[in-house]
Structure 1
Amino acid sequence: MKFIDRILNKIVSYRINHLIFPKELADKMPIYCSWHVDWTGIEKGSIEIDSDNIYKGMLQIGHDRIAKGLIGSKKSKINLEHNGKLIFKGPADLSQGISIYCHDNATLTIGRGIYTNGYCTIYSRKKVTIGNDNMWGWNVLLMDSDGHPIFDTDNKIINEPREINIGNNVWLASDSSIMKGVSIPDGCIVGKGSTVTGIYSEKNAILAGCPAKIIKRNITWNRGDYKI
């Protein structure tokens, strides 16, 4: 079965690369995806790689590199609405169950060296920017809108989307939720199950709770031997 999966992965990856990129870039095969990824709305130019070093398999999408014992569907989904843009700044490993949605004219920028565990969701209706060397646990949610509009009695929308900014070297622990308008500085950790709703300015801090607040300062962390 694994042999068949590898063959199907290569076939689908070839097709996706040549749907998205100019031939010269597509032939380098920068995207290596699982055949279980559901691609919707992709077209030439809808995904960009903003890097001087583009190589085969640098973007790993939908593969089973999730935590041992984590059980769930193998399905992943990449949905880019008309003029929705997904930009990679370098290599990335987005594991099985990843779900990405970019609405019309929305932008999602993902920094180099990101690793996401299983079943993470990024929902961009405006702009989401993720820095370099992020590490995410499973079931992390980023959402720069409320999903549905809310109106006042004069029929004006009162809950417009607000962009999200995640710094470099940020660890989002499993089941954490990052909501619209959030800014998280470099070197921070978000605790398991936390809901982040604010703008933070202190680097190298641990944020935890619902809503999250700073519970520890002047910390550092690293991913050990894991490299992208």
Structure 2
Amino acid sequence: MKKILKVILGLPKTIIFNLSMFNFTTAIKLPVLLAPGVVVKAAKRGTVILNEPASFGLVTVGLWDGSGGIGRGKTFLEFKEGKFVVGGRISIASGSLIRVLDGGVLRIGKNFKGNAGLKLICRQEIDIKDDVLFSWNCTVMDSDGHGIFDEYGSRINSDKKILIGNKVWIGAEASILKGAYIPDKNIIGYRSLVCKVLDQKNCIYVSKINDIVAAKKNISWKI
């Protein structure tokens, strides 16, 4: 009932957003549903690209309060000269922050679920494949946010692409930073940090003494 109420209260914002993003034929299907508390910045036609036929509620933002209803506060969407490419049905919980800036490209595949407090901040490229689940308060950033320069004025902290494979589960409060690659069918443990290329599938990876290691192998998990 609460979700239905959010859909109804968010209809004015949802209609305006869809009409500003898509042509009329696509927009009237309302493929993107926004909760009333969603704040949208710097969005314009062509920012959101659907690689799946438009259907009602293909993308929902802020309608789900996360596991146990822990979602709090506003949900922010900011697309400043960036693109958000949607590959299928996705759900982003309330209290999340999605920022695509400076020509960056954020790609999310089908059956994506982002729990409350998710932060996706993209300045170059973040590519998330199908059947990916984020627990609460996770962060994904493909940049450091500010440039760092050596004594000669050359930047030493360039942005780097992030790739997350199919059927990956990111545990609560984990951080996925620039240059990270997570292969298919892995689990990233609670509060783990990934900032490098992982080389194995079907593992549980956890942070351990300034590194991330495969703590268990040959595992599987159900969405």
- Offset of residue 170 of structure 1: 0.3
Structure 2 SS opposite 1:178: strand
Indicate if the aligned counterparts of 1:170 and 1:189 stay in contact, CA closer than 8 A.
yes
Deviations 1:48-93 (A, max 9, x none): 1111x321011111123312162531x00111112x0000000001
1:116 is aligned to 114
Distance 1:6 1:215 in 2: 42
Scaled by the length of structure 2, the TM-score of the pair is 0.94
Deviations 1:175-214 (A, max 9, x none): 0000100000000000000011110121111111153221
Q: Show structure 2 runs of 5+ residues with no match.
A: none
Indicate if the aligned counterparts of 2:140 and 2:175 stay in contact, CA closer than 8 A.
yes
Distance 1:79 1:95 in 2: 16
Indicate if the aligned counterparts of 1:197 and 1:211 stay in contact, CA closer than 8 A.
no
Structure 2 SS opposite 1:19: helix
Whether 1:187 and 2:185 are equivalent positions in the alignment is: yes
Scaled by the length of structure 1, the TM-score of the pair is 0.92
210-219 vs 111-120, which moves further: 210-219
The 5-angstrom pairing of residues 18-37 of structure 1 reads 18-37=19-38
Distance 2:188 2:173 in 1: 10
Distance 1:71 1:103 in 2: 24
Indicate if the aligned counterparts of 1:173 and 1:190 stay in contact, CA closer than 8 A.
yes
Indicate if the aligned counterparts of 2:163 and 2:180 stay in contact, CA closer than 8 A.
yes
1:14 is aligned to 15
- Offset of residue 36 of structure 1: 0.7
Amino acid at match of 2:203: A
Question: How many residues matched?
Answer: 220
- Amino-acid identity (%): 30
1:62 is aligned to 62
